[in-house]
Amino acid sequence: MVLPTLYSLSQQSWSQDTGVHGPIVLATGLWLISRRLPEVPALVRPVRPLLVALGLLLAVPAYIFGRAYDFISIETAALLLALVTIAYAYVGPVVIRMMWFPILYFCFMIPVPGWLLDVVTQPLKLFVSEVVTHGLTLAGYPIARLGVTIYVASYQLLVEDACAGLNSLVSLSAIGLFYVYMLRGSNWRYSILLLALVVPIAIAANCVRVAALVLLTYHAGDAVAQGYLHNFAGMVTFTSALLFIFLIDKLLSPLRDSLARKA
């Protein structure tokens, strides 16, 4: 079950912008589990067979269905449920509770379904295009917007799904969750605050990305903006957003210390 699904993920989700974080999540998640393995033998407890049967009863048919009809999201979620159920059968509830974070973290390997992408991405694209248009209008640029299409001078730019910020939002959430757990895991209130800031940071970073591409188009032409600089802008945006999360964590250190004292 594991190898066929990993192969499917590598050919589908992991080769696209929406799932580029998948291999990182897999590698770091396995590393997190390996760190706690020495503690496992002392924590093994008896299990409830009914829970094992129920977990497999849900996971196996869902896996078969997802595999047969190429629903990679269902297939991956069912595989994760099956693996957690099997692990529970061998080591018991105490170990599973101890491994709660790696299990939650592995959920980021489940590809976002296409219908959900469509529902979430469209409002994000509208928001990003509106913010960019309004901001550049205030700066004096001849710019207008119709839906997700931006008109600047004689050029027409379409805000694509990648520019909406959902791709970087999922990846930043995964990496941000790992960062928070490793460095701030003991302070759960501060961890929730820092994770909540990932969403506006990702959206703001993509607004800057779209604005930069619009300005490149206006000043240097469409060929320059749609060339290698287009893909390079995406990489710079993601890296900048990630560094900004680290910067905010540093700036909020007094608040973190205050919450730690109250805990």
Task: Note the pLDDT tens digit of each residue in 78-123.
Answer: 999 999 999 999 999 999 999 988 998 999 999 888 788 778 888 8
Residue 131 pLDDT greater than 90, yes or no: yes
What is the rounded average pLDDT of the residues 54-65? 95
Helix (H) or strand (E) holding 119: helix 114-138
pLDDT at 192: 79
Among this protein's residues, is 107 annotated catalytic? no
Residue 165 banded pLDDT, cuts 50, 70, 90: low
Q: Find the catalytic residue in 67, 145, 163, 207.
A: 163
Quote the Cα angle for 211-214-218, to 5°.
Answer: 140
Specify whether 163 is catalytic.
yes
Burial of 223 (0-12, 13-18, 19+ CB in 10 A): exposed
- Whether the per-residue pLDDT at 186 is higher than 60: the answer is no
Q: Which of 67, 145, 184, 209 is catalytic?
A: 209
Average pLDDT over residues 153-175: 76
User: How are strands ordered across the β-sheet holding 143-146?
Assistant: 143-146, 149-152, 155-158
Tell me what the pLDDT averaged over the chain comes to: 85
> How many whole angstroms separate alpha carbon 2 and alpha carbon 26?
12
Q: Tell me, what's the pLDDT at 161? A: 63
- Measure the CA–CA gap between 260 and 240, rounded to whole angstroms: 28
Beta bridge partner(s), residue 144: 151
Establish how many alpha carbons lie within 13 A of residue 120's alpha carbon, considering only the half-sphere containing its beta carbon.
17
Q: What is the pLDDT of residue 28?
A: 94
The model's pTM: 0.79
